[in-house]
Amino acid sequence: MKKKMIATRDGFGEGLLELGRKNKKVVVLSADLTESTRACWFKDKYPGRFISCGVAEQNMISAAAGLALGGKVPFACTFGVFAAGRAWNQLSISVCYMNLNVNIAGTHCGISVGPDGATHQALEEISLMRALPNMTVVVPADALEAKKATVEAAKIPGPVYLRLTRCAVPVISKESDKFEIGRAKVVKRGKDLTIIACGNMVFEALSAARGLKKEDIDVRVINMHTPKPIDKKAVIKAARETGAIVTCEEHTVYGGLGSAVAEIVSQNCPVPLKMIGIDNQFGQSGNNEELMKFYKLTSEDIKLAVKRLLKKK
Amino acid sequence: MSKKRPDIKKLEDKAVEIREDILNMLGKAGSGHTGGSLSLVELLLTLYFYEMRHNPENPGWDKRDKFILSKGHGCPALYAVLADAGYFPREWLWTLRKMGSRLQGHPQKDISMGIEASTGSLGQGLSIACGLALSAMLDSNKAVRTYCLMGDGELQEGQVWEAAMMAVHYKLDNLCAIVDWNKLQIDGWVKDVMGIEPLNKKWKAFGWEVFEADGHNFESIMEAFNKARGVKGKPAIILARTVKGKGVSFIENQAGWHGIAPKKDELKRALEELRKG
């Protein structure tokens, strides 16, 4: 059965609508990307709680902190590149240092944004956000998960960064699936090796695992939708039980999900590990599929990495 | 629209005590920002003993006015005034900048001791104040006012002007900014480091109601606050002409005194001079 294709930003937009209905404290800020981030759905329904900030991300983030100090639950929306790169010190001092319930939605993340090119492809924010004390980092694997993550983010007293994408990805979870920030999901059981992925790479990882099954390679797949705080137990269990780990992210391998996994594995239960991601490069224009191939982020690349790593086991 | 006038003579005496506290705190700490703390004394005393509705007995009072010290490095002055107002014991002042102290080198949010926000990375305070003012407006709680004190060197930060636009766009007349206009910053005279003039015209052009005051004269500051409170439909800003290092002749107007604390002999001389008046 062909899966429904929906961008995670759409799930976020729906999550905001649910929050708008249920929680009067929720306010939404946008830095002139209201349609693109799907904040517009909230704006249309709850205009009195929508705050247009113009192209001024630094002010948006600190103003969100002020709103949180005033008792609101703000969601600040912009592209991932700007959220993390443009307002990092504001996130650090105005938001994280005060440990406020400010939620940041960064859309258009990863290389799959496509034709806009390097200036708009957020490839570093997991690292940047992960480095901030008190910050939670969530990378939903599909639209349903994005909706649940949005609703959950509002309940966490500290700041949360939601990493979202523009390109449609298959919906691999079910409405009834339990979603808990910080708790990894094993989406496929297996014993030979574990692939730990986040975001749309979870689907690629699953496709790779299914392909490998035909070659009698039994791979576990973990949807690590929360790179921080990472589910340490799930990582250690995977390392102990399967003896090798491949990480997959549409993001630089410097400081992202792969690094987070390596930090745990290397200090607790060293096993062979391979990180799939962007390696010290900027992005470029192209269509989604071309770019994923060029940067070696497809299920075929994952399969190859798994086979190579198994030899080192 | 004026409030009950405090006894000016008493405030003036208090200003001397606060300056003594600041110098003693910095002397004990062995580091910190002397010049930009001494320039704030009258402005802070007017805020806490005349202008703002607040209750040191109940620091979390939901109807309180909010104060953000955007130029966080001036916090010795804020700590001294908060202690004097009764937010925490005076003895805490002597722990400034020491390991484990709640009096951090730059303010760390702690509403129980009257500190509304963490600041120190310049340029963020006015945005935070905009958020607070917006949230009061969304709650139709317009009686709650938000005050934000910035340095003049700080106005070189682009974020300040982003916030300046936001405050006007959302007609935040429950917001009042104050500039400690002492004309000096760490590298020297503001005009030499990166000119910001014409300041009055700039804020006017951004849509603010602008008032000027003598930042060391209580009458002048109170008058400016009275006028600012009456402004409707837009935010107000008070450009307060101050002297960096005010009160101690050898510290006044010296950029070199931006980020250093008085040594033992300097402290002695400074305190003697303050007491003589």
pLDDT tens sequence across A252-277: 999 999 999 999 999 999 999 999 99
- Nearest-angstrom CA–CA distance, B272 and B266: 10
Q: Which residues of chain A make contact with B138, given a CB cutoff of 8 A? A: 27, 48-49, 72
Element (H, E) at A204: helix A201-213
pLDDT for the residue B50: 97
Residue B277 above 80 pLDDT?
no
Give me the mean pLDDT over the B32-41 stretch.
97
Which of B128, B154, B161, B172 to probe by mutation at the A interface, max A CB count within 10 Å?
B128
CA distance B30 to chain A (A): 25
Nearest Cα residue to B128 out of B139, B120, B60, A160: B120
In a domain, B1, yes or no: no
Which of B135, B154, B157, B160 to probe by mutation at the A interface, max A CB count within 10 Å?
B135
Give me the mean pLDDT over the B198-227 stretch.
98
In a domain, B172, yes or no: yes
- Nearest-angstrom CA–CA distance, A72 and B131: 10
Q: How far is CA B105 from CA A164, B77, B81, B115, B269, in A?
A: 37, 12, 16, 13, 24
**Which residue is listed with tokens 């500190």?**
B115
**Which residue is listed with tokens 């014993």?**
A191
- Nearest-angstrom CA–CA distance, A61 and A54: 12
- Nearest-angstrom CA–CA distance, A77 and A99: 19
| Residue A207 in tokens | 């496709």
Global pTM? Answer: 0.97
How many domains are contained in chain B?
Answer: 1
Q: Which residues of chain B make contact with A95, given a CB cutoff of 8 A? A: none
Question: Where in the sequence is the domain holding B223, given as residue range(s)?
Answer: 8-276
pLDDT for the residue B12: 97
Give me the mean pLDDT over the A192-201 stretch.
98
Subunit contact B127:A27, Cβ cutoff 8 A: no
In a domain, B3, yes or no: no
- For B131, which of A48, A58, A62 is closest by C-beta distance? A62
CA distance B14 to chain A (A): 31
Q: Which residues of chain B make contact with A49, given a CB cutoff of 8 A? A: 138
- For A59, which of B66, B127, B135 is closest by C-beta distance? B127
Question: What's the pLDDT band for B119 if we cut at 50, 70, 90?
Answer: very high
A59 touches chain B (CB under 8 A): yes
In a domain, B226, yes or no: yes
A285 touches chain B (CB under 8 A): no
Rg, C-alpha atoms of chain B = 17
**B145: exposed, middle or buried (Cβ count in 10 Å: 0-12, 13-18, 19+):** buried
| Residue A204 and residue A249 in contact, taking contact as beta carbons nearer than 8 Å | no
Subunit contact A58:B120, Cβ cutoff 8 A: no
B108 touches chain A (CB under 8 A): yes
Nearest Cα residue to B241 out of B188, B168, B190: B190
CA distance B62 to chain A (A): 9
- CATH: 3.20.20.450, 2.30.40.10, 3.30.70.270, 3.40.50.970. Which one for A5-170? 3.40.50.970
- Nearest-angstrom CA–CA distance, A12 and A105: 8
CA distance B131 to chain A (A): 4
Question: What backbone phi and psi angles, to 5 degrees, belong to A221?
Answer: -125, 125
Residue A2 above 90 pLDDT?
no
B164: domain CATH number is: 3.40.50.970
B99 touches chain A (CB under 8 A): no
Question: What's the pLDDT band for B14 if we cut at 50, 70, 90?
Answer: very high
Which residues fall within 8 angstroms of residue A279, CB to CB, at 6 or more apart? Answer: A252, A253
Q: Which residues of chain A make contact with B163, given a CB cutoff of 8 A? A: 59, 62-63
Give me the mean pLDDT over the B46-51 stretch.
98
Question: What's the pLDDT band for A43 if we cut at 50, 70, 90?
Answer: very high
B158 touches chain A (CB under 8 A): yes
Which CATH fold would you assign to the domain A185-312?
Rossmann fold (3.40.50)
First to last CA, chain B: 33
- Nearest-angstrom CA–CA distance, A262 and A265: 5
Tell me the average pLDDT of chain A. Answer: 97
Tell me the average pLDDT of chain B. Answer: 97
B135 touches chain A (CB under 8 A): yes
- Nearest-angstrom CA–CA distance, B265 and B218: 31
Strands annotated E in chain B: 66-69, 146-151, 175-181, 184-185, 188-189, 209-214, 236-241
- For B128, which of A52, A65, A72 is closest by C-beta distance? A65
B134 touches chain A (CB under 8 A): yes
Q: Which residues of chain B make contact with A68, given a CB cutoff of 8 A? A: 131
Residue B1 above 90 pLDDT?
no
| Residue A15 in tokens | 């999550």
Residue B211 above 80 pLDDT?
yes
**What are B239's strand-pairing partners?**
B179, B212
Question: What's the pLDDT band for B103 if we cut at 50, 70, 90?
Answer: very high
| Residue A252 and residue A121 in contact, taking contact as beta carbons nearer than 8 Å | no
Question: What's the pLDDT band for A228 if we cut at 50, 70, 90?
Answer: very high
Nearest Cα residue to A12 out of A161, A178, A182, A204: A161
- Is the ipTM reported for this complex over the cut 0.95? yes
B63 touches chain A (CB under 8 A): no
- Nearest-angstrom CA–CA distance, B190 and A93: 25
Subunit contact B134:A70, Cβ cutoff 8 A: yes
Which of B106, B134, B154, B171 to probe by mutation at the A interface, max A CB count within 10 Å?
B134
| Residue A96 and residue A132 in contact, taking contact as beta carbons nearer than 8 Å | yes
Q: Is A57 a catalytic residue?
A: yes
Pairs of residues, one from chain A and one from chain B, whose beta carbons lie less than 8 Å apart: 103
Maximum Cα interatomic distance, chain B, rounded to a whole number of Å: 54
Nearest CA in chain B to A95: B118
- Nearest-angstrom CA–CA distance, B25 and B97: 9
Q: Which amino acid is at A190?
A: G
Residue B137 above 70 pLDDT?
yes
Give me the mean pLDDT over the A126-144 stretch.
98
Q: Quote the crossing angle between the two packed helices A299-312 and A201-213, to the nearest 10°.
A: 60
**Residue among A14, A57, A145, A249 flagged as catalytic:** A57
Which residues fall within 8 angstroms of residue B266, CB to CB, at 6 or more apart? Answer: B250
Residue A72 above 70 pLDDT?
yes
pLDDT tens per residue across span B182-195: 999 999 999 999 99
Which residues fall within 8 angstroms of residue B188, CB to CB, at 6 or more apart? Answer: B255
Question: What's the pLDDT band for A197 if we cut at 50, 70, 90?
Answer: very high
- For A63, which of B66, B131, B136 is closest by C-beta distance? B131
CA distance A166 to chain B (A): 27
- Nearest-angstrom CA–CA distance, B176 and A36: 34
Q: Which residues of chain B make contact with A62, given a CB cutoff of 8 A? A: 124, 127-128, 131, 159, 163
pLDDT for the residue B142: 77
Subunit contact B127:A63, Cβ cutoff 8 A: yes
| CA dihedral of A258, A261, A263, A264, whole degrees rounded to 10 | -170
Q: Domain limits of chain A? A: 5-170, 185-312
In a domain, B135, yes or no: yes
CA distance B113 to chain A (A): 15
pLDDT for the residue B141: 87
In a domain, B2, yes or no: no
**A216: exposed, middle or buried (Cβ count in 10 Å: 0-12, 13-18, 19+):** exposed
A90 touches chain B (CB under 8 A): yes
